[in-house]
């Protein structure tokens, strides 16, 4: 049991250590070479777009709950019992899917949630380097 807990903690630490965005938030951008910072800016933009797409998808899943309820009322008025049971069964399933999706997104895109701050840190470091280079 202790072995499992230790391995799990080590893998979490290793995963966070490999996340450049978390590293930038923690230690700053001055340890990264300029080409890597520029690549990280592009990667941050891509990850931000992926996060926005995933959030839209999860929002649609959550919003579909109201459609299932509306369909339930419609099927009830049409005396279609099987449709009523199906749509009422879909309500908790979509709520569960919405909740699990939000948890997974927050876990997967932990550092990207602070994308504006990370971008600001990187841009400030690149500007500082550009000014330092122009002195020479």
Interval 88-104: pLDDT, tens: 999 999 999 999 999 99
Q: How far lies 87's CA from each of 33, 63, 84, 99, 129, in Å?
A: 55, 14, 5, 19, 59
- If pLDDT is split at 50, 70 and 90, which confidence band does 72 have? very high
pTM metric for this prediction? 0.75
- If pLDDT is split at 50, 70 and 90, which confidence band does 119 have? very high
Higher-pLDDT residue of 10 and 22 is 22
- Three-state secondary structure of the chain: CHHHHHHHHHHHHHHHHCCHHHHHHHHCCCCCCHHHHHHHHHHHHHHHHHHHHHHHHHHHHHHHHHHHHHHHHHHHHCCCHHHHHHHHHHHHHHHHHHHHHHHHHHHHCCCHHHHHHHHHHHHHHHHHHHHHHHHC
Percent residues over pLDDT 70 in the chain: 92
Residue 107: which of 99, 118, 117 has the closest Cα?
A: 99
Domain definitions of the chain by residue range: 2-135
26 pLDDT higher than 60: yes
- If pLDDT is split at 50, 70 and 90, which confidence band does 81 have? very high
22 pLDDT higher than 80: yes
């Amino acid at each position: 049991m202790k072995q499992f807990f230790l391995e799990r903690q080590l893998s979490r630490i290793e995963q966070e250590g490999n996340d450049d965005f978390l590293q930038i938030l923690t230690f700053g951008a001055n340890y990264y070479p300029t080409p890597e910072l520029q690549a990280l800016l592009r990667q941050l933009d891509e990850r931000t777009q992926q996060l926005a797409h995933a959030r839209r998808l999860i929002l649609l899943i959550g919003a579909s709950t109201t459609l299932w309820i509306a369909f339930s009322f419609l099927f009830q008025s049409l005396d279609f019992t099987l449709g009523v049971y199906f749509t009422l069964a879909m309500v908790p399933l979509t709520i569960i899917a919405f909740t699990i999706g939000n948890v997974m997104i927050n876990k997967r895109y932990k550092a990207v949630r602070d994308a504006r701050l990370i971008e600001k840190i990187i841009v400030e470091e690149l500007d500082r380097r550009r000014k330092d280079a122009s002195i020479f």
